[in-house]
Structure 1
Amino acid sequence: MYSNFTLAAGWIETGTGLGNDIKSLIFNIAIPVLCGIFVLVIGWKTKAPGPTIMAVIFAGIVWGLSANMGALKDKTTDDITNYNGGSSVSRMDQ
């Protein structure tokens, strides 16, 4: 009565591939372009060097943090591991 077949055969791999492509598109193209647009709009609207310089600094921070997501992930994992007492130390209930 029931036959053996795989639901979503190939769709999981397709979804994973699209997810990776979209992620790289966002981090490598969309964020830098949006940072540039942000700086141009602030510069155009204010026509003052102070806010434009602050916009450049803020855009640089956003762009830099998004470009180093892998390093930030590893740093966060290390911080959590160290906060929990490390991997070789067992903590007792207090």
Structure 2
Amino acid sequence: MTGRGLARHQAESLEHLPTVILDTKERLYLHSPGVEETILPATPGQTFHYRYRNLRLLIEGHDRLFLVPATWSASDSTTVVPFDGSARLQFQFVNERP
């Protein structure tokens, strides 16, 4: 399968990709359908102020992660997050049953 074919297959089966909860210091203004933004409560020492849900880890690059909405289409955006501690990420994996 070619790179384009792998990408198409991946886009058609996002349910197999890990779900990501993304916390950021600044608002990202993500407008993709299904992505939920929550303002985190201000508490002493809190570094992150926004939480985004309903994202999936599409691919991990050398120093960044590529996230897409859980229900992604070619007209939606891909969010690129540096993998440098500037964002907090939680991954949720689905264990498939035999």
Q: Give the TM-score range, shorter chain.
A: under 0.3
Greater strand fraction, Structure 1 or Structure 2: 2
Q: Which has the higher contact order (CA 8 A, sep 6+)?
A: 2
Q: Which has the larger radius of gyration?
A: 1
